[in-house]
Amino acid sequence: MNEYWEIYMKQLEGAAASVLANVGLALEDNEFKATYPIVGFVKVALKNPKENGLIDESEEDELSFLEDKLEASMIKFRIGKYAGRIITQGSVTFLYYLQFTYNWQDFLEYALAEFEDFEISAGFQDDSEWNFYHNLLYPNVDEWQIINNHKVCEKLKESGDDLQTPRAIEHRVVFDVSVPKEFIEAIQNEGFRVMEQEDKSVKFYRKDKPFYYDIDAVTLTLIALSKEHGGMYDGWECSVVKAS
């Protein structure tokens, strides 16, 4: 099984949600997914959530221990694979893909015996199309961009960048056909300047801060503009500006 995990933030039903997803499962073939056609969930109410419904650091260790016990139980009873978790609106939901459910109750009792002071609910349902995985856990195009943005931000920080100093940030968009002049006009209207234009791609820049939420806003705007004109946003780069 492919193990490749990502954690990111999104909005679910108008509320902040922290999602941990085994995105490596998307690389598995149809035979693998057909072997695990049932989605199971374990929902744990937080005792002391933050105002935004996310987990408070005072509960992180205990919830991490609970998560480990669930994983150990899943391995012991060999009924499925851990797909990810969602923290939102004062609860944590762990999601699994199961090949059978006859010992689901044994799995729960073994994993949760030490956690009687938590309010916990659990269940399962058929999901042969893996809709819960693709619609709730797996990042969409915008969410992948945010994940990648923050990885670049972390690398800049490791190099001593304060992320707060505006500098020229270069972007690239590619097309299946020639770059539409309407796209060039659209990015120019947003204050970008073209650096290099080839037949099916264009590089352009604007002075911005590469701070997490600032660069998220910029790139999501460019993804929308690219899609509107038949193109695909292909990322950004900038120089390191060290904190003084």
User: Among the three residues 120, 137, 154, which one is the final residue of a domain in this structure?
Assistant: 137
Average pLDDT of span 44-61: 96
User: Among the three residues 94, 122, 137, which one is the final residue of a domain in this structure?
Assistant: 137
Is there a contact between 164 and 211 (Cβ–Cβ < 8 Å)? yes
Q: Are both 49 and 97 inside the same structural domain?
A: yes
Residue 180 maps to which CATH number?
Answer: 3.30.70.970
What was the pLDDT predicted at 243? 75
Tokens 């797996």 sit on residue:
138
Q: Are both 13 and 133 inside the same structural domain?
A: yes
Tens digits of residue pLDDT in 175-204: 999 999 999 999 999 999 999 999 999 999
Tens digits of residue pLDDT in 61-84: 999 999 999 999 999 999 999 999
Task: Specify if 30 maps to a domain.
Answer: yes
Q: Are both 96 and 173 inside the same structural domain?
A: no
> Residue 63: which residues within 8 A CB-CB, separation 6 or more?
44, 46, 55, 92
Q: Are both 123 and 147 inside the same structural domain?
A: no
Q: Are both 41 and 123 inside the same structural domain?
A: yes
Task: Specify if 243 maps to a domain.
Answer: no
Q: Are both 110 and 13 inside the same structural domain?
A: yes
Bridge partners (DSSP) listed for residue 238 = 169
Q: Are both 146 and 227 inside the same structural domain?
A: yes
- Amino acid letter for position 79: I
CA distance 41 to 39: 7
How many domains are there within the chain?
A: 2
User: Among the three residues 110, 137, 164, which one is the final residue of a domain in this structure?
Assistant: 137
Q: Are both 43 and 133 inside the same structural domain?
A: yes
Tens digits of residue pLDDT in 7-43: 999 999 999 999 999 999 999 999 999 999 999 999 9
CB atoms within 10 A of CB 182: 11
Q: Are both 225 and 165 inside the same structural domain?
A: yes
CA angle at 122 for the pair 119 and 125, rounded to the nearest 5°: 160
Q: Are both 207 and 169 inside the same structural domain?
A: yes
> Residue 64: which residues within 8 A CB-CB, separation 6 or more?
none
Average pLDDT, the chain: 96
Q: Which domain holds residue 126?
A: 5-137
Q: Are both 132 and 145 inside the same structural domain?
A: no
Q: Are both 130 and 200 inside the same structural domain?
A: no
Could you tell me the pTM of the whole model?
A: 0.89
